Chains A and B, each alone.
Chain A
Amino acid sequence: MTLSRRTVLGGALAGAAALALAGCGGSGGSGDRLRVAFPGGGSRESLDPHVVPQFVDQARAKACFDVLAGWSQDMAPVPRLAESWESDASGTRWRIRLRSARWHDGRPVTATDVLATWRRIADPATSASAAASYRTVDFATSRAASATELDVVLSAPNSFFPLAWGAPGAEILPEGRIDPARPVGCGPFRFVSFTPGRSAVYSAYEGYWDGVPPSRELEFVVIDDENARVGALLSGQVAWVHDLRPTSARQLESDSRARLVSAPDSNTLFLPVRVDRPPFSDPRLREAVRLGIDREALVRVVLLGRGRPGNDMFGAGLEYYPTDVPQVTRDVDRARALVTEAGAQGLAFDLQTSTASPTFDPAAGLIAQQLTEIGLRPTVRQLPSENYFTAIRTTGVASLTRSGTLPIPDNLARRAVSTATQANYTGFRDTRIDDLVARASAATDPAVRDAAVREAQLLLRAESGNLVWASGAYDVGTAAHLAGYDVARTNSATWARFDRARLG
Chain B
Amino acid sequence: MRRAPLRLAVGVGQLVVVAVVVFFLTTSLPGDTAEIVLGQDATPEQVAALRAQLGTDRPAGERFADWASGVLAGDLGRSLQTGQPVVTELSTRLGSTALLAALTLLLLLPLAVLAGTAAGRRAGSSLDRGLTGFLSSVQAAPEFALGLLLVALFALQLGWVPATGGGGGLVTPAVLVLPVVVLVANQLGRLARQVRAGVLTVDRAPHVVHLRRLGLPEPVVLARHVLPGAVLPTIQQLARVVDGLLGGVVVVESLFALPGIGSGFVEAVRARDLPLVGGYALLFAATTILVNLAAGLLSARLTPYRAVLT
Contact = CB atoms under 8 A, between A and B. Distances in A.
Interface in A420-452: 421-423
Interface residues of B, number: 65
Interface in A213-255: 219, 221-225, 227-229, 231-232, 234-238
B136 to A, nearest CB: 26
A228 B270 contact: no
A132 B44 CA distance: 12
A422 B42 CA distance: 6
B166 A45 contact: no
B168 A223 contact: no
A313 to B, nearest CB: 20
B156 A235 contact: yes
B131 interface: no
Nearest to A33: B169
A383 B39 CA distance: 16
Contacts of A484: none
A45 B81 CA distance: 7
A53 B38 contact: yes
Given A53-B41, A53-B42, A20 B103 contact: yes
Q: Number of contact residues on A: which range applies?
A: 35 or more
Interface string A44-70: 111000010110000000000000000
B16 interface: no
Interface in B37-79: 37-47, 49-50
A199 B270 contact: no
B82 A196 contact: yes
Given A16-B106, A19-B98, A384-B31, A201 B168 contact: yes
A129 interface: yes
A387 B47 CA distance: 12
B259 to A, nearest CB: 5
Interface stretch (B119-127, B157-165, B183-191): B157-165
B255 to A, nearest CB: 6
Contact of B254 (A44, A195, A224): A224
B38 to A, nearest CB: 6
B171 interface: yes
B301 A54 contact: no
Interface string B21-32: 000000001111
B31 A391 contact: yes
B307 A5 contact: yes
A42 B36 contact: yes
B37 A231 contact: no
Given A199-B167, A235-B162, A387-B35, A42 B257 contact: no
B169 A29 contact: yes
Given A8-B301, A44-B82, A53-B37, A232 B257 contact: yes
A389 B155 contact: no
B270 A41 contact: yes
Contact of B301 (A5, A125, A197): A5
A221 B257 CA distance: 10
A384 B105 CA distance: 35
B168 A225 contact: no
B148 interface: yes
Contacts of B106: 16-17, 20
A140 interface: no
Contacts of B40: 53, 389-390, 422-423
B170 interface: yes
A198 interface: yes
Contact of A232 (B148, B166, B259, B304): B166
Contacts of A17: 106
Given A29-B170, A53-B39, A234-B155, 16 more contacts: A20-B99, A54-B39, A129-B41, A129-B42, A199-B167, A199-B168, A222-B166, A223-B164, A224-B254, A228-B164, A232-B162, A234-B163, A235-B164, A238-B166, A383-B30, A390-B47
19 contacts: A3-B301, A17-B106, A20-B106, A23-B95, A26-B171, A41-B267, A42-B267, A53-B40, A53-B41, A131-B46, A195-B168, A198-B168, A221-B170, A227-B148, A229-B257, A235-B163, A237-B170, A387-B32, A421-B43
